[in-house]
Amino acid sequence: MPRRSGSKAAAAATTRRPKRRSPAAEPAGGRHRCLDQRRRLAYESARILAEHGPTEFDRARRKAAARLGITDKRCWPDNGEINDALIEQQRLFAPDEHAEGLDALRRHALEAMRTFAEFRPRLIGPALRGTATREHGIELRLFADSPEEVLMALMERHIPWRQREAAQRYASGTVQNAPVFEFVAGGIPVHLQVLPWQALRQPPLDPVSERPERGIDAEELSVLLAAGDPPDAVPALR
């Protein structure tokens, strides 16, 4: 029998190897399983946020993944999915109570914004997105040449406070720490985040949408309250 040439032998060997399936040829079961895990993780993360305050998305996600034993991060939900699950849960359980509580928080925020009007305050965070609880309170972003100006305003109004720092991510990829002054008024926690004036035009990123978080001013908040829209309704942001 004549011997095959090297090229023909290689070709024959190639035809005998089993072909690898392309990603499109993979069974749909794996994708469906991952989608199911994302939904389960989003719901469990939202439940954790509802218990501990709707801000620590990454901590809630990791805690939920540990509880459910889901280690494949490709199947982990993003912040937007978790936020949607939180809104869904709040609509499902005691929706009227949540709506009334959120309306009270936003009215409280409007009073605080008028108190600190010289710093061009803007409402941001869960109270704007519609997921805040009374325990979490309200987040306002103030603008000043220096944090000391806000500090003096607190002292002049005889408001006791405590201070911390919060990391802020920007579209440029930079991360900067911003001072946050916290106090309680009328039983509601108030968080005042202080940024330089240029942040009015280039604000930090929203942790949920990953887009610049511009928030709304006092006038826009007044319109939102007067309209009586659903808790998760937010006016178009500039």
Whether residue 92 has pLDDT greater than 50: yes
Judge residue 105's burial from the number of C-beta atoms within 10 Å of its C-beta, 0-12 exposed, 13-18 middle, 19 or more buried. Answer: buried
CB 87 within 8 A of CB 205: no
pLDDT level of residue 223 (50, 70, 90 thresholds): very high
pLDDT level of residue 128 (50, 70, 90 thresholds): very high
Q: Please tell me the pTM assigned to this model.
A: 0.74
CB 181 within 8 A of CB 189: no
Say which amino acid occupies 29. Answer: G
Report how far apart the first and last C-alpha atoms of the chain are (Å, whole number).
Answer: 81
Question: Looking at residue 17, what DSSP letter applies?
Answer: S
Neighbours of 168 (CB within 10 A): 19
CB 41 within 8 A of CB 77: yes
Whether residue 8 has pLDDT greater than 80: no
Q: Looking at 111-115, 180-184, 208-212, which range is the least confident one? A: 208-212
- Which overall architecture, per CATH, does domain 96-227 show? 2-Layer Sandwich (3.30)
